[in-house]
């Protein structure tokens, strides 16, 4: 978090501003170093190209989100059916399950038995095996006692995204047979936990992807083991794992293993390879194991980060500042920034809000920022990865997504609107109009960018992203925004109390 200012304290502001600017410059420098070193951001151009080659044009059902960390999201494959077995497979270009023989088996009662590896959604393949399981991390090999043939899988929930999958190592499940040339590997470590192989390659490092591609799918898979599961993490990045260590510790009583650099032969009785995807930033409770809904995921997060508020209730203490509803403005700096943030904050304060401003990024301390978000009753921000912090809001809170100019309703819908219901969060939208966008200053009135956003969408994701996401800042009309804030207030228990008092 680069700034978290208590706006109700005017004194010391001037001095604070200088310090803040210096701090922001420092943070920016640090951020660019971190980006250059660790994240897949440098490859963004490639990511987008790969996406475009795959999809041709941007259509309403191929959604991407370009965020501070610049990685592509695609929700094109959202129509998940029931888990269905893969019936054939060639060597996996996009990184799906591959096998040389048909895999559907039928038992004595003619029921179709789940094969070892199967497609758990259009985005994810999962393999499960039990018995004699021996994991050799260095070669991404899992030897399994009773296996009739070899399976290959990439344990990351973007199976049709060639770019993401190019950063994910392929794992092999192979029969543990004694007839081969090499003797079976001898166990050096025995564990009674279930082994869970997953990857933090792909698009990790972008908040939205961290949750959508990895953390929520890992929860769907691992929560049912009640801690008796060991995470074997492929394409391990220590900065990433450390960032979310508290989450891993909630899900597992065992050490997280950097499995690609592991020289042990780790033996288990059960293994699961690859997390299960359900939907964008969400869980389909009807498909998830019992007790693994989005409500449970959020409760787990509260446990992980010590978040106090399960629901957006005002504090009972009449002297407590928390009697006032808190509004958190999620700030952005490089694009899609609020140009009148201060005025927005002043207006919100005049409505009785306790106002905070926070700017989440890759350098933010997760639990610190999570606590800030959890303390809020209303969170408002322009479309972008930062809004993923909604996972920390208490139930009954309000998310206001400010949608930049350019016909981006569909993007707003699939990224943050649709996930909000399962999180028990009230969703509101504030659409940026022509008189509120800096695009109006950049283009003549009759330019297609302003007149016909659809014509820009038709030029593909790159064009859309450059024009409407990268080069747009916004200045919400305070009168109009005030109406939205007042509506948000009405949705809160605080607002209802106030109404009763009046």
Ligand X SMILES: *[C@@H]1O[C@H](CO)[C@@H](O)[C@H](O)[C@H]1NC(C)=O
Binding site for ligand X (CB under 6 A): 187-188, 190, 267
CB of 132 to ligand X, least distance (A): 9
Residue closer to ligand X, measured from CB, 187 or 431: 187
CB of 186 to ligand X, least distance (A): 8
Give the residue nearest to ligand X (CB). Answer: 190
Q: How far apart are CA 361 and CA 364, in angstroms?
A: 5
Among candidates 58, 43, 45, which has minimal Cα distance to 464?
A: 58
Give the count of alpha carbons within 13 A of 447, CB side only: 13
CB of 230 to ligand X, least distance (A): 15
CB crowding 283-308: b at 16 or more within 10 Å, else e: bbbebbeeebbbbbbbbbbbebbebe
Among candidates 191, 196, 236, which has minimal Cα distance to 219?
A: 196
3 state SS of 395 = strand
Residue closer to ligand X, measured from CB, 64 or 266: 266
CB of 131 to ligand X, least distance (A): 12
Residue closer to ligand X, measured from CB, 48 or 144: 144
Residue closer to ligand X, measured from CB, 173 or 265: 265
Write the DSSP assignment of 104-130 as a string of letters: -EE-TT-PEEPPSEEESSSS-EEEEEE
* Secondary-structure breakdown of the chain: helix, strand, coil percentages, each rounded to the nearest 5: 40, 20, 45
Residue closer to ligand X, measured from CB, 133 or 385: 133
Dihedral through CA 419, CA 425, CA 428, CA 432, nearest 10? -60
3 state SS of 189 = strand
Q: How far apart are CA 416 and CA 401, in angstroms?
A: 8
Dihedral through CA 22, CA 23, CA 26, CA 32, nearest 10? -130
Give the count of alpha carbons within 13 A of 428, CB side only: 21
Residue closer to ligand X, measured from CB, 188 or 496: 188
CB of 268 to ligand X, least distance (A): 11
**Phi and psi angles of residue 344, each rounded to the nearest 5 degrees, phi first:** -60, -45
CB of 190 to ligand X, least distance (A): 4
Q: How far apart are CA 17 and CA 23, in angstroms?
A: 10
Residue closer to ligand X, measured from CB, 254 or 278: 254
| Tokens coding 330 | 């999620």
Q: Are 95 and 165 in contact (CB under 8 A)?
A: yes
CB of 251 to ligand X, least distance (A): 25
Residue closer to ligand X, measured from CB, 187 or 337: 187
| Tokens coding 230 | 């060991």
Residues contacting residue 459 through CB under 8 Å, at least 6 positions apart = none
Residue closer to ligand X, measured from CB, 187 or 491: 187
CB of 271 to ligand X, least distance (A): 16
CB of 118 to ligand X, least distance (A): 29
């Amino acid at each position: 978090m680069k700034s978290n200012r208590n706006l109700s304290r005017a004194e010391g502001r001037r001095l604070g501003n200088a310090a803040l600017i210096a701090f922001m410059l420092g943070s920016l420098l640090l951020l660019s170093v971190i980006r250059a070193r660790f994240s897949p951001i440098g490859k963004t151009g490639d990511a987008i190209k790969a996406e475009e080659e795959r999809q041709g044009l941007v259509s309403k059902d191929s959604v991407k989100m370009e965020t501070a960390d610049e990685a592509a999201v695609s929700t094109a494959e959202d129509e998940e059916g029931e888990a269905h077995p893969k019936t054939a497979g060639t060597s996996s270009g996009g990184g799906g399950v591959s096998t040389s023989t048909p895999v559907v088996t039928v038992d004595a009662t003619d029921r179709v038995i789940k094969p070892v590896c199967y497609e758990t959604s259009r985005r994810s393949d999962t393999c499960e095996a039990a018995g004699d399981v021996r994991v050799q991390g260095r070669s991404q090999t899992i030897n399994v006692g009773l296996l009739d043939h070899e399976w290959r899988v990439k344990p990351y929930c973007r199976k049709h995204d060639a770019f993401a999958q190019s950063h994910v190592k392929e794992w092999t499940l192979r029969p543990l047979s004694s007839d081969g040339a090499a003797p079976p590997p001898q166990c050096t470590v025995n564990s009674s936990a279930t082994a869970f192989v997953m990857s933090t390659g792909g698009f990790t490092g972008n908040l939205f992807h961290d949750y959508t591609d990895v953390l929520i799918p890992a929860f769907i898979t691992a929560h049912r083991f009640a801690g008796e599961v060991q995470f074997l993490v492929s394409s391990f990045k220590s900065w990433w794992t450390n960032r979310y260590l508290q989450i891993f510790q909630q899900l597992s009583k065992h050490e997280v293993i950097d499995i690609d650099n592991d020289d042990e032969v780790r033996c288990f009785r059960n293994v699961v390879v690859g997390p299960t995807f359900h939907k964008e930033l969400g869980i389909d409770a009807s498909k998830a194991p019992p007790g693994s809904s989005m409500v449970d995921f959020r409760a787990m997060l509260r446990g992980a980060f010590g978040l106090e508020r399960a629901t957006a209730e005002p504090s009972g203490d009449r002297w407590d500042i928390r009697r006032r509803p808190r509004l958190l403005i999620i700030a952005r700096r490089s694009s899609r920034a609020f140009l009148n943030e201060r005025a927005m904050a002043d207006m919100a304060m005049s409505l009785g809000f306790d106002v905070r401003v926070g700017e989440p990024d890759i350098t933010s301390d997760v639990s610190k920022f999570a606590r800030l978000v959890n303390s809020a009753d209303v969170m408002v921000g322009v479309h972008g990865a930062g809004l993923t912090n909604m996972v920390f809001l208490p139930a009954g809170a309000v998310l206001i997504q400010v949608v930049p100019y350019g016909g981006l309703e569909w993007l707003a819908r699939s990224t943050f609107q649709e996930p909000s219901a399962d999180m028990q969060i009230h969703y509101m939208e504030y659409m940026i109009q022509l008189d509120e966008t800096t695009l109006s200053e950049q283009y003549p009135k009759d330019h297609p960018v302003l007149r016909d956003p659809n014509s820009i969408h038709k030029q593909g994701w790159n064009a859309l992203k450059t024009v409407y996401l990268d080069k747009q800042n916004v200045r919400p009309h305070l009168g109009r925004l005030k109406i939205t804030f007042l509506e948000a207030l009405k949705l809160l228990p605080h607002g209802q109390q106030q109404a009763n008092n009046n």
